[in-house]
Amino acid sequence: MSAILTVPAVALLALIGTAAPASAVPADKSRVLSNWTQTSASSYNTFISARNNQGSWSAYDFNWSTDHCSSSPDNPLGFPFNLSCARHDFGYRNYKAAGQFSANKPRLDSMFYEDLKRVCGSHGYSASKKATCNSLAWTYYKAVKQLG
């Protein structure tokens, strides 16, 4: 009879031993991070959707913290750069945590610039206001490229 109890006990121990701990991060975390940090508008939109529903992504243990545009204005001259800065922070913080920052920094900075240019092109600004916005976008991009 002890042999009968031993087999289920061993099976149960094997199952418990191979079960993932509650704090395990999903295996596709790097793929999700990559998808959310591409230069495309669809990547931006997917990131914003996830950011607005962070609880659904809690198993991935992403760092969502942001200081927006750091010591630069979040909305220079009224141009709303804050979400672009938040996504840039997300990329920097999570790739640093993954030990993959250097390999991804150029793309993250390009992503940031594309996001800023989308801000400039999506608000129906006059030609001169759009030119001012694009000039600020370039300045922000050059700053993170050099200092980020």
Q: Is 7 or 117 the better-scoring residue by pLDDT?
A: 117
Q: How many domains are there within the chain?
A: 1
Q: Is the pLDDT of residue 2 over 70?
A: no
* Out of 10-14, 23-27, 95-99, 118-122, least confident range: 10-14
Residue 44 belongs to some domain of the structure: yes
- pLDDT the model gives residue 11: 37
Domain span holding position 39: 25-147
Contact 141, 113 (CB under 8 A): yes
Domain contains 35: yes
Q: CA 88 to CA 112: how far, in whole Å? A: 6
User: Hunting for tokens 């600020």 — which residue is that?
Assistant: 136
**How far is residue 33's CA from residue 15's CA, in Å, rounded to a whole number?**
30
118 lies in some domain: yes
Q: Which residue has the higher pLDDT, 84 or 3?
A: 84
Query: Residue 102 domain-assigned?
Result: yes
Helix axes 82-97, 101-121, angle to 10 degrees: 170
Task: For residue 117, give the CATH number of its domain.
Answer: 1.20.90.10
Which of 83, 81, 50 lies closest to 66, judged by CA?
83
Query: Residue 11 falls within a domain, yes or no?
Result: no
Mean of all residue pLDDT scores within the chain: 88
Q: How confident is the model at residue 25 (pLDDT cuts 50, 70, 90)?
A: confident
**What is the predicted pLDDT for the residue at 129?**
97
Has residue 16 been placed in a domain? Answer: no
2 inside domain: no
pLDDT of residue 24: 73
* pLDDT tens track for 123-132: 999 999 999 9
